[in-house]
Chains A and B, each alone.
Chain A
Amino acid sequence: MLERTGIPTRAELEEILPDEKRLEEGPVAIFECFREIPCDPCYYSCPVGAVKEFSDLNDLPEIDYDKCTGCGQCIAGCPGLAVFVIDYTYSEDRGLIGLPYEFTPLPREGEMVMALDRSGEEIEKAEVIRVRQNRKQSNTPVVWLALSKENLISVRHFHRMEAGDSDEE
């Protein structure tokens, strides 16, 4: 149970994931927003209208995955840091994940970092592809990592590795 563990169950995840066909088509936003709280910035952050307008402020967000382009604006817009973008089409052998990262210093593009899952377990080394920060202070930096496709569904965070560790760079 999410309240006990701080980690969503498999059933909760399946509830919010787009179907496999959509996942294979290209980048798409994953809203890991499981509990109704009064909140609506994701609606305003989406430039293509893929987040349905809230009729009740406390509703969970509803996403139109056909409209979603995976641009990642919602990653920076979500106050709960609960939105991610995953892309299975990034390259032959690697996928791409965009995640919110409110730690300093920000990683450099090209740097190797340690990707972590929802419980902070180390999953694999990943390459930082892009780092984006909107000029508005309130917007959360978004870091895009390339890693193996099978881990796109489990990786949700990363930590920078010790200086001695990053010899792959």
Chain B
Amino acid sequence: MWRNSAGRVICVQRCDMAVVGGGPAGLASVIKAAELGVERIMLLERDEFLGGQLVKQTHKFFGARDEYAGMRGIEIAEHFQERIDELSAIEVKKGAVAQGFYEDDVLGYTHQGRFKKLDPERLLLATGASEKMLTFANNDLPGVYGAGAVQTLMNQYGIIPGEKVLMIGGGNIGLIVAYQLLQADVGVAGVVEAESGIGGYSVHATKIRRCGIPLYTEHTIIRAEGEEEVEGAVIQKLDDDWQPVEGAEKRLDVDTICLAVGLAPIVDLAIQAGCEMAYIPEFGGDVPWRDEDMRTSHEAVFVAGDAAGVEEATAAILEGELAACAMARDLLGEKSEIMEEKTRARDKLNVLREGPVGDEIRSGLERMRRDIDAGEDRYSHQSRA
């Protein structure tokens, strides 16, 4: 029985496992947990649909065939939704926004206009990431978008963001969204990347180059032009020290500037839960420290997907499964099926990260181990026992 300070009974729903976030990590985790026999699973999703960023991904995924390679993100989201419908242990709450995680390990969320409380035995934070902003003159003009917003408008609602777009950022998101814009018959003036080469997969770059879209490597945007809305963009060449080369300005006639300059993990709930945090630039910023099973420093709290470190959807799926296995072991004991599935998920993650494109993630994991061995907690400033 829970009572507030006035002595009134508070209704708190108990469950075995709660997951915040219905993107690839959260969906994969509830499915895996239910398959392993976990009961009373609650999935909270802020949106009115499941899938997270998957529903905007019209391109085919890379990875291993066993992990949905060759399928488009939207198809993977549908596949997960169908599987969840078959599993009665999973209760899905759409339009449910997590609000806070409190000292007595109660998760508060709002749903249908009401504040509700949940007391899960195990909690997975699969809250994803948010887009980073870039500083340049007039970056608050209407017509400056994040790449996620462009994808939401275009791929979910069928609304084009403008007639001619300048893409800022040559990572996978910038390259993929530039291609999606072309597919939607929107003009793309170019892709601007400050580094000497694109950071995304080269196959994504060759796709837009053969459509005649220029790559402005070693360039940055210095200002947006326009009074009421974006009417143009000025880019400038950068020298080897990342300083603007004088006179090397170029004005591009665009009505939309799309920013794809990186993501930062959404970690508010982890901080509130008192999880030890680590600053890992390779992961996009502050992330909760976690062990090999995705467990944070809080025994009942796990993390997976971009909230654990910005990577990509296949890794998020495998991290969600890994966390589900570890939570299932906590709840159901060391059954052989659970332990086998856990090993399988971890092995597949390792294989995925083994090659050159996994360099950053491996370096981030290494830094996390090193910092934890050496450091103190970034927020509480208490040394780690």
- Interface on A for B, CB 8 Å cutoff? 1-8, 32-41, 44-45, 56-58, 77, 79-82, 102-104, 116-121, 137-138, 140, 156-157, 159
Contact = CB atoms under 8 A, between A and B. Distances in A.
A7 B197 contact: no
B355 interface: yes
A12 B183 CA distance: 28
Nearest to A140: B60
> Residue among B183, B201, B202 with the most chain A CB within 10 A?
B202
What secondary structure prevails in chain B residues at the interface with A? mixed
B361 to A, nearest CB: 11
A5 B215 contact: yes
Interface stretch (B26-34, B42-50, B204-212, B277-285): B204-212
What secondary structure prevails in chain A residues at the interface with B? loop
A81 B58 CA distance: 13
A4 B212 contact: no
A140 B207 CA distance: 13
Interface stretch (B1-9, B68-76, B227-235): B68-76
6 contacts: A5-B209, A34-B202, A38-B353, A45-B70, A81-B207, A117-B210
Contact of B70 (A32, A79, A120, A157): A79
B61 A79 contact: yes
Given A80-B204, A120-B213, A36 B357 contact: yes
B65 A137 contact: no
B202 A3 contact: yes
Contacts of B357: 35-38, 58
A138 B70 contact: yes
A4 B69 CA distance: 27
A117 B206 CA distance: 11
Contacts of B213: 120
Nearest to A2: B202
Contacts of A35: 201-203, 356-357
B63 interface: yes
A40 B203 contact: no
Contact of B65 (A7, A40, A118, A157): A40
A133 B27 CA distance: 30
A56 B201 CA distance: 18
A103 B354 CA distance: 34
> Residue among A3, A80, A116 with the most chain B CB within 10 A?
A3
A166 B352 CA distance: 47
Contact of B198 (A6, A34, A80): A6
A101 B131 CA distance: 30
A157 B211 CA distance: 7
Nearest to B63: A38
Interface in B177-193: 182-183
